[in-house]
Amino acid sequence: MNGNITSIGKYLPEKVIKNNVFENYLDTTDEWIISRTGIKERRQLDQQKGASFMAIKAIENLFDKTKITSDQIDAIIVATITPDMVFPSTACLIQDYFKIDNCWGYDLSAACSGFLFGLETADALIKSKKYKKVIVVGVDKMSSILDYNDRNTCVLFGDGAGAVLLEPSASHGILDCKLGVNGSGAKYLNMPAGGSLHPASPETVEKKMHYVKQNGAAVFKSAVKGMFDITNTIMKNNNISSKDLKLFIAHQANKRIIDATAKKMNLNPNQIMVNIDKYANTTAASIPLALCDAYEQNKLDIDDNIILTSFGAGFTWGSCLIKWGI
């Protein structure tokens, strides 16, 4: 049996931040941001709300599209790097909100690849036959860890959440998934403080160590190669050619990365899902948001072959081949 996506939901904050906002105080322009990233706007959550708020909203949207109710859920996996707090987990806060009695769950930290790591884990739970209904959420409030005076990072990210429900299927669902990590990339993309190595202190706050730090050139180069290599491996292992693929949904970090990867894969524009222009990089929420948009825009039919591919801090990466089943 495969873990099959049977329902999907999303949540985006109402507040929209357009590129021209940054023109007012940073050395950048709307044209430069669009040409370098493909981003036109992003969403921003209220400061008083946390990642769990968005995750709950996405799950509620998921439940609106299925007859399954919250009390039937066996497990909740939350992919995030911006939990409400270090502990307890966001999954616990979600369980408490929905009052699910016979459920367990946890948070998973793999940055932009987090949702795929969660998807692979949920699929394994389904395959174990111990669990029949598992929710995977990708959620991040990136606005909470951005230095809005750093033009190299603050224009790139947005807030949002996406969620899927997995159930057993003999004919549809996750056919294959391949994941990887390489910690030598940690120095290129990280948040230095807030952990046990550099706990919060007046010094770490003064040095702005609680914000995202990125070497954009190094990440860009590694992401193009990493996403193509892992996707190519998945396709070869399953005898899938470009023409057999209905849709390629890559992590929405940079349109140039997506385009470069798709070009190496010999895909045409109709096979590529892009929504980075509307949401920017939402980290763990990126892929489920793109998947949900594709579904809502009727770009997916039953039996379609789709590939989800990501690359993120760590470095982490992954690719999943799915036979669409709803």
Measured on CA atoms in the order 103, 107, 112, 113, is the torsion positive or negative? negative
Question: In whole angstroms, what is the distance from residue 277 CA to residue 183 CA?
Answer: 30
Question: In whole angstroms, what is the distance from residue 247 CA to residue 56 CA?
Answer: 28
Burial label, 96 (beta-carbon count in 10 A; 0-12, 13-18, 19+): exposed
Residue 172 annotated to the active site = no
Residue 320 annotated to the active site = no
- The one catalytic residue in 2, 19, 172, 251 is 251
DSSP per-residue codes, 51-117: HHHHHHHHHHHHHTTSS--GGG--EEEEE-SS-SSSSS-HHHHHHHHHT-TT-EEEEE--GGGHHHH
CB-facing half-sphere around the CA of 82: CA atoms within 13 A? 31
Residue 281 annotated to the active site = yes
Pairing label, strands 247-250, 305-312: parallel
- The one catalytic residue in 61, 254, 275, 281 is 281
Break the chain down into helix, strand, coil percent, rounded to 5: 40, 25, 35
Question: In whole angstroms, what is the distance from residue 168 CA to residue 170 CA?
Answer: 7
- The one catalytic residue in 92, 103, 112, 154 is 112
Whether 140 and 283 have beta carbons less than 8 Å apart is answered as yes
Pairing label, strands 75-79, 134-141: parallel
Which are the catalytic amino acids? 112, 251, 281
